[in-house]
Amino acid sequence: MNRTTRRQLLSASALVALTGTAFGRSFRNGLPWSPNEAYPPSPITPRAWQFFSPDEVAAVDAIVDRLIPSDDLGAGGREAGCTVFIDRQLAGPYGVHDGLYMDGPFPPNPLPSQGLQSPVTPRQQYRQGLAALSAYCKATYAGRVFASLSHEEQDALLTAMEKGEAKLPGYDGRSLFAAIYANTIEGYFADPVYGGNRDMVGWKLVGFPGTRYDYRDVIDKPNQPYMLPPVAMQGRPAWGQLP
Amino acid sequence: MSARWGWLAGFLLLAGSAWASEDNYVAATRGRALAIAGDCIACHTAPGGVPFAGGLPLETPFGTIMTPNLTPDEATGIGRWTVDDFARAMHEGVRPDGRQLYPAFPYPFYTKVARADVEAIYAYLRTLDPVTSRVDRDTMPFPFNIRAAMSGWNSLFFTPGAFKPDPQRSEEYNRGAYLVEGLGHCGACHTPLNALGANKASQPLQANRINDWTAPNLTNDARLGLGSWSVDEVVTYLRTGRNATGQASGPMGEVIAHSTSQMPVADLRAMAIYLKERGTAGSTAPSPLPASDARMRTGEAIFIDTCSACHTSTGAGIANIFPRLAKNPVVQQDDPATLVRVVLAGARAVATAAAPTAPAMPSLGYRLNDEQVAAVLTYVRNSWGNAAEAVSSADVQRVRKVLVSGK
């Protein structure tokens, strides 16, 4: 029988006690503060692609532009920078699920409450998924890739992927669609500092005011239009030259 | 050593510590309160060092001065100083060896302190534990390392002499004047300096820039000074570090933390009465810039997006938490250095026993460029009844340079 010895118990308690001290800090006379302290995100500059290959850019551009097409309401996914946003996210910590617990076991049929249950990182997901999509298109559409399909063909294929009906070779089309769909929405509505939502186009479309966060002046004026234009972390045109 | 010499040495030791004996308890306690009123600890303590052991580098336009050790250590402190030596330093700015002290030590103010109070401070300093803290007292560059040159400075700018109460005024007014003009040495920061680093006698307490902070006008001027604050509001500010209008941070925050928040309310009240009754002086208000001015329009956009959530769109702020900007004298000083600094670097209000929250303003220097900081401050200085000169991007650039270099 496996029994805890007195020695083990004491060592474990000592370890806990030591660890506890290591993380405990006390502050007097207010919390620590130092001048110039800020942790701003570095703005995205649309230079070379950091993760996608040119073929992948063409495919993702085509997909995000079918998910959010350009129309008289505003720019579409490509023009709004969704592909740039996804590229930079994949190149950064999100691309490797940095910060998520990525060791197994991964149940094959997880409960929804168990969240993400896969060893595949977003980078692998895009790389393998887009390769599978390319192979599928070439086989199905006489050597053409996704970007060269007609809008009707693209819509039909995306719909089939969403429903799990398009069988991509060696990759689950539904999970590829789900990833791009979610990341496109994020790119379209995240702050422009991250590369998407160019000129706050997503916010203008839905009337979101941006980083302004106090509405006491208007809260008591229901059913009246909110007139102030949206503002991003880096400001808005009325601020003059942006930093 | 013979027994007799040993006995004599013991007697001398006892004599030496006589100032620290219980007999002096009352004087030492009074001296402690006076040392707090004089904020001696602020300069005579190195960052993280033992209180009163000196070693703080004081930056002056002429060079850096290291503050001396005030503990009664014989070798490195003032342990060998007699009470007369101490009084001479306080009243005349001269060391026991006859050499001049620099007026970074505010003897032009301390000369007004009564001899009995000087003796009480001396008694208090004698009760401190002696600390060995050798300070390099000769860090000034040529020609300012010639201490004798201070004689010339003294003949030009130093008027020795005890405080003379004004019989026409109330006892409280005179008590306040004694504290403000003497131990409090408020004018050291709040009175403009001339080219030789002397406070301009012609413009007492009419605002000054010191280490890129604006020490505001302390006359009773309604726009620039204390005119819009009641005596009680001044007392609350000095006692707690805040009042309904604003919060103290930076150098004044330190003064409040070490000094005024620990002073008797009666003394704070006397100082407030003196400051408010001694008159009004300062620049006349310029006409505020029209709202149509391009800088005002840019500034308003930045203000609404960046500042109004706390300071509110009417500049009213939230009492005791977010400073009011409308009709706030700090906002309308001729020199905008403090405003620029606070927007660029952020600010932390002082925490006192009475108001321990110490709210902070975030740093916006990463988010706003020089033109934008200038525009938003120009807007704040010319809205809601405020009137002050526009802030230029050169003003912002200068302070940003100081903040980045840390000097």
Structure confidence at residue A229 (pLDDT): 93
Evaluate if residue B178 carries a pLDDT over 90: yes
- Specify the pLDDT at position B1: 43
- Looking at every residue in chain A, the average pLDDT score rounds to 89
For B185-205, what is the mean pLDDT? 94
Q: Residues 293-332, chain B: which have Cβ within 8 Å of A?
A: 297-298, 301-302, 304-305, 308-310, 312-313
Residue among A35, A37, A241 whose CB faces B369 most closely = A241
Given pLDDT bands bounded at 50, 70 and 90, which one contains residue A11? low
Nearest CB neighbour to B302, from listed A214, A217, A239? A239
Angle, CA of B325, B328 and B331, to the nearest 5°: 75
pLDDT greater than 70 at residue A29: no
pLDDT over 70, % of chain B:
94
Residue A106 φ/ψ, nearest 5 degrees: -110, 105
Residue with tokens 């559409």: A141
pLDDT of residue A16: 55
Res B147: pLDDT: 83
* Chain length of chain A: 243
- Chain B residues within 8 A of A33 when measuring between CB atoms: 346, 348, 358, 360
* pLDDT of amino acid B16: 46
Query: In B, which residues are within 8 Å of A37 by CB distance?
Result: 346, 363
Between A19 and B236, the more confident residue is: B236
Pick among B305, B366, B396 to test the A interface (most A CBs inside 10 A): B305
CATH of B294-405, one of 1.10.760.10, 1.10.150.120, 3.40.50.620, 3.40.50.300: 1.10.760.10
pLDDT tens digits for range B318-348: 999 999 999 999 999 999 999 999 999 999 9
Whether the Cβ atoms of residue B170 and residue B91 lie closer than 8 Å to each other: no
Q: Tell me: pLDDT of A200 over 90.
A: yes
Give CA–CA dist B240/B353, Å, rounded: 7
The strand pairing partners of B217, in sequence order, are B206
Lowest mean pLDDT among A1-15, B89-103, B215-229: A1-15
User: When comparing pLDDT for B99 and B17, which is higher?
Assistant: B99
CB-neighbour burial class of residue B81 (10 A; exposed 0-12, middle 13-18, buried 19+): buried
Checking if the pLDDT of B14 tops 60, the result is no
Mean pLDDT in residue range B148-171: 91
- A234: closest chain B residue by CA: B367
**Do A36 and B367 count as a contact with CB atoms less than 8 A apart?**
no
DSSP assignment string, B203-242: STTEEEEETTEEEEE-SS-TTTSSTTS-HHHHHHHHHHSB
Task: Please provide the distance, in angstroms rounded to a whole number, between the alpha carbons at the two ends of chain A.
Answer: 68
B42-67, pLDDT tens digit by residue?
A: 999 999 999 999 999 998 888 899 99
Query: What Cα–Cα distance (Å) separates residue A225 from each residue in A26, A199, B199?
Result: 48, 21, 57
Asked whether B361 and B342 are in contact (CB, 8 A), the reply is yes
Rg (CA), chain A: 24
Q: What is the pLDDT of residue B7?
A: 53
Q: Tell whether the torsion through CA atoms of B148, B153, B156 and B162 is positive or negative.
A: negative
- By CB atoms closer than 10 A (0-12, 13-18, 19+), residue B402 is middle
- CB contact (8 A) between residue A212 and residue B304: yes
For A8-23, letters b (16+ CB in 10 Å) and e give eeeeeeeeeeeeeeee
ω into B356 cis (within 30 of 0):
no
Comparing alpha-carbon positions, the chain B residue that sits nearest to A36 is B345
Mean pLDDT value of segment A143-161: 97
Q: How far apart (Å, rounded) are the C-alpha atoms in residues B164 and B181?
A: 11
Nearest to B348 among A33, A216, A228 (CB): A33
- What is the mean predicted confidence (pLDDT) over B115-137? 95
Q: What is the rounded average pLDDT of the residues B9-28?
A: 59
Alpha-carbon gap, residue A71 to A171, rounded angstroms: 32
When CB atoms are compared, the residue of B305, B346, B347 closest to A231 is B305
pLDDT at position A18: 55
Cβ atoms A232, A191 nearer than 8 A: yes
Give pLDDT, residue A99.
87
Please indicate whether, in this complex, the C-beta atoms of B308 and A235 are within 8 angstroms of each other.
Answer: no
pLDDT over 50 (residue A86): yes
| DSSP three-state, residue B208 | strand
% of residues, chain B, pLDDT over 90: 84
CA A168, A171, A175, A179 torsion-angle sign:
negative
A40 in reach of chain B (CB within 8 A):
yes
Output the six-digit token pair for B367. 């988010």
- Give A40 or B363, the one with higher predicted confidence: B363
pLDDT band at A241 (very low <50, low <70, confident <90, very high): low
Q: What is the ipTM for the molecules in this complex?
A: 0.80
B351/A36 touch (CB, cutoff 8 Å), yes or no: no
Domain boundaries, given as residue ranges, for chain A: 54-102+119-206
What per-residue confidence (pLDDT) applies to A115? 82
How many angstroms separate the CA atoms of A66 and A82, rounded? Answer: 12
What are the b/e assignments for B280-299, b being 16+ CB within 10 Å?
A: ebbbeeeebbeeebebbebb
For residue B184, is pLDDT > 90? yes
Give the model's confidence band at B15: pLDDT under 50 very low, under 70 low, under 90 confident, else very high: very low
The model's pTM: 0.86
> What's the rounded Cα separation, in Å, for the pair B387 and B389?
7
State mean pLDDT over B265-280: 98
Q: Look up residue B359 and give its DSSP letter.
A: -
Judging by beta carbons within 10 Å of its beta carbon (0-12, 13-18, 19+), is residue B22 exposed, middle or buried?
exposed
- B401 has a chain A CB within 8 A of its CB: no
Question: Is the pLDDT at B172 greater than 80, yes or no?
Answer: yes
Record: contact B313-A241, CB cut-off 8 A:
no
Q: Cβ contact (<8 Å) for A35 and B362?
A: no
pLDDT band for B177, please (50, 70, 90 cuts). Answer: very high
Task: Decide: A100 and A116 in contact? Cβ < 8 Å.
Answer: yes
Mean pLDDT of chain B: 92
Q: What per-residue confidence (pLDDT) applies to A114?
A: 86
